[in-house]
């Protein structure tokens, strides 16, 4: 019989992480550990406040499955037993890790994928004044890919202009965090094209994004809050050019792999993203990163300290995880 533990951990952020919906100085994560004899599998998630998830409720939902998991619940059974979201992500990834340890082969091989290679991740600049964001860009000007958090206010164009001044050679992604409107989305996109922005993430609120259909924009749009899992993916064709796959939204690696395959069949390009979390949460997402046009897995870079055996970063270049961490 397996032994299941569910722990809440707090990891301080280096400074603060600020988006339009607020600022935080620590990352609260839930870690699931499943032991089967000498083999141990782990997974990590970050509850999504945007969707009403709390650390307390997500931890409770996982603990409610303890008996079934102890009795041998499989990944396929988990998909039917638990709703898509952060909790299922932690359990799903822990089961992948456990199964790999028992089988003596890496997760990528079990999943029929190619061996993971290093990938360059975006580095996120928190929302701030144009001057603050210019200074942050200068500090990180050597990174090849910067992601800017915008606020949905009249200062957004000035923020991007300031970042471009601070980091003249970096590729830029902007995350509007649902902050724009149907009235200004096209004019904002044309204004940002002057600064060489490569991608605009979630320009409109998810409930209003039908207004994007048929728009001819100089910069491709990427769905974030508008995409969770397989359900509703077809609707996004014609609205967005990219989708952002986050394991805390898909409910784990299992559905994330299905979303990736489905997106490719529908000619949607892929960005893989994350919440602010440790390397344990990034490790499974690295498998999605292998086939993604943009990688945004900088969570550990934003922390004051990562967990043991964390992913090695050489600047923005992240190496595949070691088995001691996951997979």
Each residue's pLDDT tens digit in the chain (327 positions)? 899 999 999 999 998 787 767 788 999 999 999 999 999 999 999 998 888 899 999 999 999 999 999 999 999 999 999 999 999 999 999 999 999 999 999 999 999 999 999 999 999 999 999 999 999 999 999 999 999 998 877 789 999 999 999 999 999 999 998 999 999 999 999 999 999 999 999 999 999 999 999 999 999 999 999 999 998 899 999 999 999 999 999 999 999 999 999 999 999 999 999 999 999 999 999 999 999 999 999 999 999 999 999 999 999 999 999 999 999
Residues 95 and 176 in one domain: no
In this structure, what CATH number is given to the domain that contains residue 61? 3.30.390.10
First to last CA, the chain: 21
Residues 184 and 313 in one domain: yes
Active site residue 24: no
Q: Quote the number of domains for the chain.
A: 2
In this structure, what CATH number is given to the domain that contains residue 184? 3.20.20.120
Q: Is residue 275 one of the residues assigned to a domain?
A: yes
Domain holding 172, by residue range, is 119-318
Residues 125 and 99 in one domain: no
Catalytic residue among 246, 249, 269, 305: 246
Residues 211 and 256 in one domain: yes
- Measure the CA–CA gap between 325 and 151, rounded to whole angstroms: 35
Q: Is residue 308 one of the residues assigned to a domain?
A: yes
Contact 289, 122 (CB under 8 A): no
Q: Is residue 327 one of the residues assigned to a domain?
A: no
Residues 22 and 76 in one domain: yes
The residue among 46, 44, 41 whose CA lies nearest residue 31 is 44
Residues 135 and 161 in one domain: yes
Q: Give the sheet arrangement for strand 22-36, strand by strand.
A: 3-19, 22-36, 39-45
Residues 49 and 189 in one domain: no
Domain boundary among the residues 104, 132, 150 is at 104
Catalytic residue among 149, 249, 269, 305: 149
Active site residue 149: yes
- Measure the CA–CA gap between 184 and 202, rounded to whole angstroms: 13
Residues 158 and 294 in one domain: yes
What is the pLDDT, as a whole number, of residue 267?
Answer: 97
What is the pLDDT, as a whole number, of residue 310?
Answer: 97
């Amino acid at each position: 019989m397996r032994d299941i533990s569910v722990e809440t951990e707090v990891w301080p952020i280096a400074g603060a992480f600020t988006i339009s919906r607020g600022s935080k100085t620590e990352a609260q994560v839930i870690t699931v550990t499943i032991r089967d004899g000498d083999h141990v599998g782990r997974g990590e998630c970050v509850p999504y406040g945007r969707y009403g998830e709390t650390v307390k409720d997500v931890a409770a939902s996982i603990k409610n499955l303890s008996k079934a998991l102890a009795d041998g619940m499989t990944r396929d059974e988990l998909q039917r037993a638990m709703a898509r979201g952060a909790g299922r992500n932690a359990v799903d990834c822990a089961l992948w890790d456990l199964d790999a340890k028992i089988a003596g082969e890496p997760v990528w091989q079990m999943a029929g994928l190619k061996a993971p290679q290093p990938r360059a991740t975006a580095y996120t600049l928190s929302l701030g004044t144009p001057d603050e964001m210019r200074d942050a860009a200068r500090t990180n000007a050597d990174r090849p890919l910067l992601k800017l958090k915008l606020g949905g206010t009249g200062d957004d164009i000035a923020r991007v202009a300031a970042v471009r001044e601070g980091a003249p050679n970096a590729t830029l992604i902007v995350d509007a965090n649902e902050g724009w409107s149907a009235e200004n989305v096209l004019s904002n996109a044309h204004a940002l094209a002057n600064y060489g922005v490569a991608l605009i993430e979630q320009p409109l609120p998810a409930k209003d994004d039908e207004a994007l259909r048929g728009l001819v924009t100089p910069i491709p749009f990427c769905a974030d809050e508008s995409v969770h899992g397989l359900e509703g993916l077809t609707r996004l064709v014609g609205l967005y050019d990219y989708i952002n796959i986050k394991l805390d939204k898909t409910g784990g690696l299992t559905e994330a792999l299905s979303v990736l395959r489905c997106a490719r069949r529908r000619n949607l390009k892929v960005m893989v993203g994350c919440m602010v979390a440790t390397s344990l949460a990034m490790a499974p997402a690295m498998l999605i990163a292998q086939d993604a046009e943009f990688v945004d897995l900088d969570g550990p870079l934003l922390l004051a300290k990562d967990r043991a055996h964390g992913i090695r970063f050489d600047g923005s270049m992240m190496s595949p995880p070691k088995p001691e961490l996951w997979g």
